[in-house]
Chain A
């Protein structure tokens, strides 16, 4: 018994651990990271300025962090998931009152060396928490009202906190990530149907409470040409940049839209626009393929993982990852309103990258320790 337990913790040697990594995922992430450094370099007008330099350094650091997380037993992440969630919730509360204010919203908490955005980490935290929660309760209890209460609170608390920062984009992504895990765990269709109904009824009321700029973003999405130099400017310029890239693109460092500053937020939310302008349709398709490959590998790891926690986490994260990517791309392609959702890894932003790399690390940990029970 003791022997068995021991073996659960350390099934193989370091060498075995190394070889049990998912190399496709490993190299896909590495390749994406390298591409992101080039994209940031181009976004800075072909120079290693503050943005491109710190992006490269961050990726290097977080990639190492990713490996550390990967080799940490999944059992550890399972046992600390509630704690992580609570810490993040506490940080969100802290941000609410003591956060750093910038451009009209309070999103950052100052950690002396770095400014952290807890809302970004919460995108992973909610998945961790719910995976653990549904891992623990029995299938029969899933649809009981008493057991539904915790997930609802766990989703709504961070959602409302982030929404009030205000940060609509991240709030929605947290909400979606949570709902996806809940749904995967087996919560009845009916409940989601009711929720949808409630959302459609209260939606207009919520919209009336939105800040004017948020309202104008939704209106702009519906008709970007109404005010081409105002609110519609971003989306129009983004479409011009992507469309003018054509089949093969304008070439690395030759994106006129980005280079001449017609592109808004080109380091962060609109980094894909710059990439699509410079590398064209083929480059964009390759990028989508890379994201697809990562999603696919995460799902595959989920399939192989035996623990419910691992499965729920991998599936939940795969879906969330996919949502991040598609929401960002749809946004820059003019299919969704501009809500402020970064593109995983490619976009400039420490907290976002930290969250993604941390999330990917746990997935990899599921792979390395796929046969371990989590407790």
Chain B
């Protein structure tokens, strides 16, 4: 039996009480610790944890604002946005996926390949994330879909916007938009913030260089998610900022017209305003349909473009490099005159060839031109005359003049695909080829063959700067409303407003701060006059393509750039260009300015493997010039109006 007395109880109580006191003290310490921790979390670090909770809670999805529009000079939309009809599918919302996909396949045009791709995608992503089944449905498909929508659980018909190009004519100048690729994200810094699945970004042309500004700022859709990432509700929307609209100097109607003219040849045409450098037209042929890229080009079409002999994807106007051929003779003559190497009265006897250091240099005319002066040499494009001139001039002085007039460097800043071409000189050859320059090469260069490489746009710039009296212009393809009126334009306005007002060249240069490319403007005028003769006088190389009506008259220079040198046998047999295989035929050039009375536009036309410039290129230029001059009044009044607005 356990003992049970009061002293025992009292003693036990004391022990228990003492020990309990100790435990209570420990309790107080523990309580203080918990209190402190609570204060530290909820007071000191509260803001940190609040932001962490928000980070948990909110997800943001970006969406692309409408892309900026590209307009022509008159505000017509060349690259615009159009409504597209899409079908999205949220896998979570449907019970019978396979059945639904079969239904969709019957309703809209879905290939088996695409169906497999969609099924793969469904497996890969979260079941509440929308899948784009088709991003561009026809109206018929879309309305059919909407009719049966009640049977299609989980399917969302969506109306969205996508890039749309009015025509194929400006496909090269404008470029195209296509779905963003992982490579784009790696290579283009500005896309880091705009990385939105499936967004279209500019791949070539202006679409590419203006991409950043045309994309605008992405919008945000902020929504609350639960711990599993499922959307609970939308919290806020930021519409972003729509892309900037750009106005170009191009004339859409001329673009379409020129593109149509060049439809059956491979080549390019450029038209430039000789006073302000506006590029009125720039087409490359054959063209392609830029709309094909917007929703993903199909394999057949893509292969067709890649394997085409005429390289439709290349913008030949700025990326095609061709020897300038006889069109360079304008600069050879000018350079010789400016450097006082020859004077304009120099005559040379052309007997069809000259011999130099045992090598024979042929004129294009086998019989020879007889005794020719400079004017006739340009008019008839006599090679022998220019062999002699360039022999006296030397390559380095010719190269300096050529560079001054815009060859050998990029004309525009707006194209990453633009090529600079080559203006050869002695140093260039040593640097690039490690060899000394031969005099024979000077002779070839003097008639635009050999190492010279130019783009059609460069030659139109060259012609423009001759046509405007030898003043430097800065070509542009984008109209910036903040641009100052060019000095040359002011000079032109002055000339137009004071008919008969005579001002010496020096005064012109001084009063309007012009940048002359000449030493003596007489030399420029002489070249212009010779070009007039080449088109408008009997025996000129482009006489057959002249306009008789005074308002359309133009002055031009033909050219052909050799692909392959004629062999002696071919020369003797007088083989014609038409008789040799297509890819070995010469490229045909024609450069011109118009109208002759008061020049305003310069043009260059290139026809790949066209044979001769007079036959292949000049007739096309003739038609384009007429079109450009017909539209001059409209353009002029439009630009005047704009200037007044400023």
Q: Are the CB atoms of A285 and B227 closer together than 8 Å?
A: no
Query: A260-B56, A302-B20 known; A281 and B2 CB under 8 Å?
Result: no
Asked if A260 and B224 make an inter-chain contact with CB atoms under 8 angstroms apart, the answer reads: yes
In the complex, whether A364 has a CB less than 8 A from a CB of chain B is no
Chain A interface, DSSP helix/strand/loop, else mixed: helix
Interface string of A291-319 (1 = CB under 8 A from B): 01001000100110010100110010001
Q: Using A241-B53, A302-B20, A311-B13 as known contacts, say yes or no to A326 and B42 having CB atoms under 8 A apart.
A: no
Contacts of A41-72 to chain B: CB distance below 8 A: none
CA distance A137 to B4 in the complex (A): 9
**In the docked arrangement, what's the CA distance between A127 and B85, Å?**
74
- Which residues of chain B have C-beta atoms less than 8 A from A280's C-beta? 42
CB pair A260–B38 under 8 Å, yes or no, is no
**A241 to chain B: which residues have CB within 8 Å?**
49, 53
Verify if B225 is at the interface (C-beta below 8 Å from A).
yes
The answer for the CA separation of A54 and B423 in the assembled complex, in Å, is: 91
Q: A244-B50, A244-B52 are in contact. Are A281 and B43 (CB under 8 A)?
A: yes
Does the CB pair B50–A184 fall under 8 Å?
A: no
The answer to whether B30 and A315 touch across the interface, beta carbons within 8 angstroms, is no
Which of chain B's residues have a CB closer than 8 A to the CB of A284?
38, 42
| Cβ contacts under 8 Å, B20 to chain A | 184, 299, 302, 315
* Interface band, chain B: 35 or more
Assembled-state Cα–Cα distance A62/B23 (Å): 29
Contact B39 A239 (CB under 8 A): no
A315 to B42, Cβ gap below 8 A? no
A180 CB to nearest B CB, Å: 7
Q: Given the complex, which residues of A lie within 8 Å of B3, measured CB to CB?
A: 138
Say yes or no: A246 contacts B46, CB within 8 Å.
yes
Closest beta carbon of chain A to B36's beta carbon, Å:
10
Within the assembled complex, what's the spacing in Å between the Cα atoms of A243 and B40?
A: 8
Q: Does B15 contact A (CB under 8 A)?
A: yes
Set of chain A residues within 8 Å of B13, measured between Cβ atoms: 308, 311
Q: Which residues in chain B, 28-55, are within 8 Å of chain A measured between CB atoms?
A: 30-31, 33-35, 37-39, 41-43, 45-46, 48-50, 52-53
Q: Mark B17-32, 1 if CB is under 8 A from A, else 0.
A: 1011001100100110
A240 on the B face (CB < 8 A): yes
The residue among A137, A243, A247, A292 with the most chain B CB atoms within 10 A of its own CB is A243
For residue A183, CB closer than 8 A to chain B, the reply is: yes
A274: Cβ under 8 A from any B Cβ: no
The reply to whether B16 and A242 form a contact with Cβ atoms under 8 Å apart is: no
In the bound complex, how far is the Cα of B54 from the Cα of A240, in angstroms?
A: 10
Also in contact, A239 and B49, with CB within 8 A (given A247-B43, A260-B224, A329-B34): yes
**CA separation between A292 and B49, bound complex, in Å?**
27
State the Cβ distance, A30 to closest chain B Cβ, in Å: 23
Decide: B49 and A240 in contact? CB cutoff 8 A.
yes
Q: Is the CB of B31 within 8 A of A288?
A: yes
Which residues of chain B are within 8 angstroms of A244 by Cβ–Cβ distance? 46, 49-50, 52-53
User: Is B111's beta carbon under 8 Å from chain A?
Assistant: no
| Min C-beta distance of B116 to chain A, whole Å | 33
CA distance A237 to B49 in the complex (A): 10
Q: Do B50 and A330 touch across chains, with their CB atoms under 8 A apart? A: no
State whether B35 touches A285 (Cβ < 8 A). yes
Is the C-beta of B139 less than 8 angstroms from some C-beta in chain A? Answer: no
Whether a CB of chain B sits under 8 angstroms from the CB of A262 is: yes
Decide: B57 and A308 in contact? CB cutoff 8 A. no
| B298: interface (CB < 8 Å) | no
Report yes or no: A243 in contact with B56, Cβ–Cβ below 8 A: no
Nearest CB on A from B93, distance (A): 21
Residue from the set A136, A137, A299, A329 with the largest chain B CB neighbour count within 10 Å: A329
* A251: interface (CB < 8 Å): no
* A180-B53 contact in complex given A243-B46, A247-B42, A326-B34, C-beta closer than 8 Å: no
A245 at the interface (CB under 8 A from B): yes
Q: Tell me whether A261 is interfacial, beta carbon within 8 Å.
A: yes
**CB of A256 within 8 A of chain B?**
yes
Q: Return the CB mask of A227-246 against B: 1 if under 8 Å, else 0.
A: 00000000001011111111
Q: Which of A180, A260, A329, A335 contacts B23 (CB 8 A)?
A: A180
CB distance from B29 to the nearest CB of A (A): 11
- In the complex the two chains form, what is the Cα distance from A245 to B46 in whole Å? 7
Are B41's CB and A243's CB within 8 A?
A: yes
Residue of A nearest to B48 (CB): A243
C-alpha spacing A280/B16, complex, angstroms: 38
**A54 shortest CB reach to chain B, Å:** 24
Task: Tell me if B228 counts as interface (CB < 8 A to partner A).
Answer: yes
Decide: A335 and B37 in contact? CB cutoff 8 A: yes
A26 to B35, CA, bound (A): 25
Pair A239/B16 contact, Cβ less than 8 Å: no
Do A240 and B53 have beta carbons less than 8 Å apart?
Answer: yes
Contact of B42 among A246, A292, A312 (CB under 8 A): A246
Instruction: Give A311 to B19 CA distance when docked, in angstroms.
Output: 12
For residue A276, CB closer than 8 A to chain B, the reply is yes
Contacts of A303 in B (CB 8 A): 17
A162 interface hit (Cβ, 8 Å): no
Residues of B within 8 A of A121 (CB): none
Contact A311 B42 (CB under 8 A): no
Q: Smallest Cβ distance from B22 to chain A, in angstroms?
A: 9
Please state if A315 and B16 are interface contacts (CB–CB under 8 Å). yes
Known: A138-B3, A261-B226, A299-B24. A335 touches B34 (CB 8 A): yes
**Contact surface of A with B, Cβ cutoff 8 Å:** 134, 136-139, 180, 183-186, 237, 239-247, 256-257, 260-262, 276, 280-281, 284-285, 288, 292, 295, 299, 302-303, 306, 308, 311-312, 315, 319, 322, 326, 329-330, 333-335
Given A260-B226, A303-B17, A330-B37, 12 more contacts at CB 8 Å?
Answer: A138-B8, A184-B16, A240-B56, A242-B38, A246-B43, A262-B227, A276-B42, A285-B38, A288-B34, A299-B20, A326-B30, A333-B34
Q: 8 nearest interchain CB pairs? A: A243-B49, A244-B53, A281-B42, A261-B227, A260-B226, A246-B46, A244-B50, A186-B15
A-B contact pairs, 12 of them (CB 8 A): A137-B2, A138-B8, A139-B12, A242-B41, A242-B42, A243-B50, A243-B53, A246-B43, A276-B38, A308-B9, A312-B16, A330-B33
